[in-house]
A and B are shown apart, each in its own frame.
Chain A
Amino acid sequence: MAHYKIMGQDPYWMNFYGLMILTLIEVLAVGADLVPLADSLGTEEKVVTLWILTIIAIPKFIMIAAIFMHLYGDEDSAILTMTALFPAFFILIMVLFVGLTHPDAASSLPDWCRPGNYGL
């Protein structure tokens, strides 16, 4: 169990409150009218929604793994975190190939990942 506190409070309760608030923001973000924001950013509402959802999902993921799954604060947290992150390498490879096998990969990739850059 946790041997630390978050803002002087029980970490599990604090984590629980945090997760509930983030989830509420997530659901509200989908219902909210983000068209003006998307227009001001020069993009589509769907893209803004995707960014908001991704940005919220990351801290939620970390909060559950670090506090509920004890990957933070325990004696064996460091090695178990390394263990949990091991598949990340394969995940990156998979995501890379998802990008490379995209139908538009040959014609629509941005300049920075096309031949002619980085001295290639």
Chain B
Amino acid sequence: MSGDHHPSAWGPHDWRHGAPHNSWSPFILSLGVAIFLFTLAGAFKFGEFQGWGSVPLIFVGLGVIGFSLLVWWRQDMSFGVDGEVFEPKSAGAPFQNIDIRKVAMWMFLMSEMMVFTSLFSTYMRYRFGIPNCQTVFESGEWVEGTSVTCFEPAGHLIASSWFHIAPGAINTFALIISSFTIVQALRYAKKKDMDEDVRRRKVTRYLGTTWLLAILFLTLKMIEWFVGFPLPEFLHEFNHGDSSIKSLYAEGYLINADSYQHHAYDTHYIEAHPDDYSIPEDSALYAMMQAGTHPGGHMMANIQVSATTFYVTTGTHGAHVLGGIVGLTYMTLKAARGGYTPDNAVSIEYFGLYWHFVDLVWVLVFPFFYLY
């Protein structure tokens, strides 16, 4: 680095003098995220909006986040100077000669890994620490009209039929396909012996497909959470005669559900629908009902913890998909203008690392939150 060059922590930076070692943006970003999350959490209590008092601070948080991104942007916008692209390499061990941006992306992914690990360990802790609702129901240790605290896995609702599982299953395939399409975009962006127009079309097509699949993912998630979907008449008989698949919201699977009821925990419904449900003959509830010591009825459950772990984990993953959509929108538009060449294709690679990580997390979220 030349002696008279003093890189600014606010950007822009002249990359011909090497990589800047200082930036305020991580600190400002952390502050912004803290303000945003703290005030957003304070705006709701058990799902109830607590008034407009904290809303201005939510926007202050978003503003601080936006400002930090602006600072970051000012530093990185100068990445390519006068048509030249500077890809600084790490100088010290253990990442010697590896692109600094690549190392940074992996560091970021490590921190992301810790975020999801804490969410997974929370889920495991509660899943194994709180009695399962099915177990509580079969134990007979409940009385109709009084709520019992138990863990109701979302998988009990979602994996109950092929129709319920459909959005999550399609999403799983969508994310895997999108991981593949982003790799294909990188492949064509990096390819040297290729006509520029063909490259532009192929990279745009693959990035655009990834974007569409990400949109599909969030759309199906919204359908699964809030909307549900109707079934054609010939499929009603495969859905207990019901004409639609209810959303989790409509099923009452909510973070404030302290009196949740499901027909799988209703002895009268089970007696009327023996093909759908049954009370195991070796269960305590069966024995008690046979002996006349349990009147049966509809068990009511407090499932706030199970619903919260489900929504927070899958919601955090969904927020990552949303972040990916923002990035993909920019990248697809850039690709459409012919913005990617073998010289700067690594940007797709680094975004791809993030996107594959989102897919990786889903590889674990889907079986353990949706199927099990």
A66 to chain B, nearest CB (A): 11
- Asked, given contacts A64-B356, A94-B121, whether A103 binds B165 with beta carbons under 8 Å apart, the answer is no
B92 to chain A, nearest CB (A): 12
- Asked, given contacts A1-B186, A50-B372, whether A103 binds B110 with beta carbons under 8 Å apart, the answer is no
Q: Would you call A83 an interface residue if the criterion is a C-beta within 8 Å of the partner chain's C-beta atoms?
A: yes
- Complex Cα distance, B177 from A48, in Å, reads 28
A83 neighbours in B (Cβ, 8 Å): 103, 106-107, 110
A56 touches B129 (CB 8 A): no
B367 neighbours in A (Cβ, 8 Å): 26, 53-54, 56-57
A57 touches B363 (CB 8 A): yes
B106 touches A84 (CB 8 A): yes
Total cross-chain contacts (CB, 8 A):
112
Interface digits, B102-129 against A, CB 8 Å rule (1 contact, 0 not)? 1100110110011001100100110011
Q: Would you call A19 an interface residue if the criterion is a C-beta within 8 Å of the partner chain's C-beta atoms?
A: yes
Task: Choose among A46, A53, A68, A91 the residue that contacts B356 (Cβ–Cβ < 8 A).
Answer: A68
Q: Would you call B364 an interface residue if the criterion is a C-beta within 8 Å of the partner chain's C-beta atoms?
A: yes
Q: Would you call A12 an interface residue if the criterion is a C-beta within 8 Å of the partner chain's C-beta atoms?
A: yes
- Complex Cα distance, B360 from A87, in Å, reads 15
B110 touches A61 (CB 8 A): no
Task: Choose among B125, B173, B364 the residue that contacts A20 (Cβ–Cβ < 8 A).
Answer: B173
B110 touches A84 (CB 8 A): yes
In the complex, 10 of the A-B residue pairs with CB atoms within 8 angstroms, ordered by the A residue number, are A26-B366, A26-B367, A30-B371, A53-B371, A56-B367, A57-B363, A90-B117, A91-B113, A98-B124, A98-B125
Counting from the closest, the 8 A-B pairs by CB-CB distance are: A53-B367, A16-B180, A94-B121, A30-B371, A87-B113, A98-B125, A68-B356, A19-B176
